Amino acid sequence: MGQASTRDAIKLALDTRNTPVIAVTGAWGVGKTYLWNELSKELKDQKLITPIYISALSYEDVSSIKSAVTSLLLSTVVPEGKWALAGDKLASIFKSLRHLIPDSFKIDVSELYPLLPSIKEKLPNNIVLVIDDIERSEGIDISIFMGFMNYLIENVGLKVVLILNQSKLEGKSKRAWNNLREKFISREVELVMTCDESVGIGLKELDGRISDAISPHIKKLNINNIRIMHHISRVFDSLSHDIDLNNKSCLDLLSFSIVLLTSLHFNCLEGWPTIKEVLDYDEYVDRADEGQEDWKEEYKKYGCIYPDDFEKEILLPFLKTGHLNKVAFKQYIEDVSYRINNNAVRAGIRDFVDKVYWDVRYKKIEILNQLLVFKSQAEFISAADITVLHKMAVKYKMVTSVDLVDEWLRKNSLKISEMEMSRHDFMDFYGDVHGKINQLYRKRYKELYPDLTLEQCIIYRASSSGSSDWNDIPIKNANSDDFRKLLIYGDVDLQRSIYKFFKPIYQGNYLGSGWRIRHKWCLKLQMIWPLLILMSELRKCGWKKSVTGSN
């Protein structure tokens, strides 16, 4: 039922007597038209058939198909190269005589088909009329269409090949097909493609490494639609036009997203959710919709994507509009390449540190050589990891020989001086990292986030339980007069923040490192500004909440 066996079945049907109508059926995109084109070329070259091909998609009704078929059959009678010239002469004659012809008298080529039997003897005796895409033309009346085909078979001696997906016939067309199928169709040949066969056809023009990367995903999703594979190929061609995608790790990362979202965009995966539901995976699987449990299992089965900027900001807009954000895609690939290298180096560092710690046979020269390897990869090493390696170099007295930190700063200083990071992200570089690296990050932090005022600091601390004291300098340096001014001149929201800042400490709720730091500074303030004075000042400012009251 694949390409080879279907090809043989069609040839056998064409050679069989009393088999005037052959229906080649199969799902959309499995390669029915592709198969016929290949077979038709072969048989035509062998002069076994004279094929005439028409796609019903180009015609709005049976009348227009009659016109097309009549014209094409007449063209086989007129010597090659002269049909267009004859048509031009006929058109010229009709134009010159138009004023003599009544308006009510019109000539439609579709009405000339009864004349075809009179030229039957002049037609090639091996004509095969092929009508494709019948189910896609909503204006075709199947009953009238089959009547016309039957006329050509009975009176002109043609063989007819119909190429269609009969499962997509609907309504009146479906009923007519089912009623007339037994009488009209001589043989049905179904094309059912395996994924392997479809991949061999659909991806044959892709670069081998790209084809190898996406083939497993196509097979996993059980896609056998060749046209969808052509769409997928075009997406890869566009993405790789200016950017090298031959990196295996990049291909592995992107290929499933491209296969899945392209297939969903062209409605190839029946029963699957929409693209929006795939991209909003977490929200989707948490809904209580009917069938949700099944889709949880589907996502587990196929290992669906956890989308990031590539899917949402690059691929999906490209599928929808045809416009590729090349700048964003190039930056994404650079980031991905860096992340891949970073992960590989990080794994190498962990293995190395474990071996040095546990394997007493590890020689000092081996440690030195490996540290020098990591030095050459400094741009892919994190601040924390380079600090670990530096400590190892100190332990084995190799600091001068290796000089890891200076090399790391040389390769990463510019990037850090230009990076955009949130306050929270900077906390990762505040802990146990080398002093020079810490200073570099602090400098960038101050450029992005200048020191807070006491008012800003109080508001920040009242809404955060973070353990870092980077933002606590105004509190450390504040005295009672500074707080009194805020209470007197501040607005009600600020007063609430001040009260919220102090309240947990006086209630004894200071669990966790963040609360302990806050408690430490509150105790300092309490010594210079007792609780009663604080509450008195709050009341003077018109804020009447008690310590035990709600926030």
462-509 per-position pLDDT tens digit: 666 555 555 667 777 777 677 767 766 656 677 667 666 666 655 555
pLDDT averaged over the chain?
A: 79
Does residue 19 lie in a domain region? yes
Q: How far is CA 20 from CA 14, 149, 216, in A?
A: 8, 10, 42
Does residue 351 lie in a domain region? yes
Return the pLDDT at 495.
Answer: 65
Return the pLDDT at 465.
Answer: 56
Return the pLDDT at 543.
Answer: 46
Residue 222 has pLDDT above 50, yes or no: yes
Q: How far apart are CA 484 and CA 503, in angstroms?
A: 17
HEC-encoded secondary structure of 354-405: HHHHHCCCCCHHHHHHHHHHHHHCHHHCCHHHHHHHHHHHHHCCCHHHHCHH
Residue 137 backbone dihedrals phi, psi, to 5 degrees = -100, 105
By the 8 A CB rule, do 195 and 31 touch? no
271 and 369 both lie in a single domain: no
DSSP three-state, residue 478: coil
Sorting pLDDT into bands at 50, 70 and 90, what band is 242?
confident
Return the pLDDT at 322.
Answer: 93
193, 215, 235 — which closes off a domain? 193
352 and 339 both lie in a single domain: yes
462 and 444 both lie in a single domain: no
Q: How far apart are CA 509 and CA 70, in angstroms?
A: 92
310 and 397 both lie in a single domain: no
Exposed (0-12), middle (13-18) or buried (19+): which is 484, by Cβ within 10 Å?
A: middle
In the chain, how long is the greatest CA-to-CA distance? 118
Quote the tokens at residue 363. Answer: 């020689």
- Reported as a single tens digit per residue, the pLDDT across 67-122 is 888 888 887 776 554 544 554 554 455 456 555 555 554 455 556 667 677 777 88
127 and 226 both lie in a single domain: no
By the 8 A CB rule, do 21 and 160 touch? yes
Return the pLDDT at 466.
Answer: 54
Q: How far is CA 513 from CA 30, 127, 269, 468, 502, in A?
A: 63, 88, 51, 9, 16
By the 8 A CB rule, do 506 and 547 touch? yes
Sequence-ordered alpha helix ranges (H) in 378-511: 383-395, 399-402, 404-418, 423-426, 435-448, 454-462, 473-476, 480-489, 492-506
Site of tokens 């390409």 = 3
Does residue 488 lie in a domain region? yes
- Regarding predicted confidence, which is higher, 402 or 180? 180
- Reported as a single tens digit per residue, the pLDDT across 194-217 is 888 888 888 888 878 888 888 998
222 and 311 both lie in a single domain: yes
- Regarding predicted confidence, which is higher, 241 or 414? 414
Return the pLDDT at 171.
Answer: 87
Sorting pLDDT into bands at 50, 70 and 90, what band is 3?
confident
Return the pLDDT at 514.
Answer: 52
CATH number of residue 10's parent domain: 3.40.50.300
Residue 512 has pLDDT above 90, yes or no: no
Does residue 467 lie in a domain region? yes
260 and 382 both lie in a single domain: no
Domain of residue 499, residue span: 454-540
Exposed (0-12), middle (13-18) or buried (19+): which is 289, by Cβ within 10 Å?
A: exposed
187 and 54 both lie in a single domain: yes
Does residue 293 lie in a domain region? yes
Domain count, the chain: 4
Q: How far apart are CA 67 and CA 116, in angstroms?
A: 12
The percentage of the chain sitting over the pLDDT mark of 90, rounded to a whole number, equals 28
- Reported as a single tens digit per residue, the pLDDT across 266-307 is 988 877 778 887 777 665 555 545 555 555 566 666 655 577
Overall average pLDDT of the 42-65 stretch: 90
Does residue 392 lie in a domain region? yes
257 and 277 both lie in a single domain: yes
174: enclosing H helix or E strand: helix 171-184
- Regarding predicted confidence, which is higher, 146 or 502? 146
The percentage of the chain sitting over the pLDDT mark of 70, rounded to a whole number, equals 73
Q: How far apart are CA 315 and CA 249, in angstroms?
A: 18
> What's 452's DSSP letter?
P
Return the pLDDT at 105.
Answer: 45
pTM for the whole thing? Answer: 0.67
- Reported as a single tens digit per residue, the pLDDT across 434-450 is 889 988 988 888 888 88
Does residue 235 lie in a domain region? yes
Quote the tokens at residue 516. Answer: 């302990």
337 and 308 both lie in a single domain: no
Q: How far apart are CA 380 and CA 417, in angstroms?
A: 17
Overall average pLDDT of the 392-416 stretch: 89
274, 308, 324 — which closes off a domain? 324
Return the pLDDT at 326.
Answer: 92
Does residue 551 lie in a domain region? no
448, 469, 494 — which closes off a domain? 448
318 and 359 both lie in a single domain: no
Q: How far apart are CA 172 and CA 179, in angstroms?
A: 11
Residue 425 has pLDDT above 80, yes or no: no
509 and 472 both lie in a single domain: yes
- Regarding predicted confidence, which is higher, 504 or 55? 55
- Reported as a single tens digit per residue, the pLDDT across 314-328 is 999 999 999 999 999
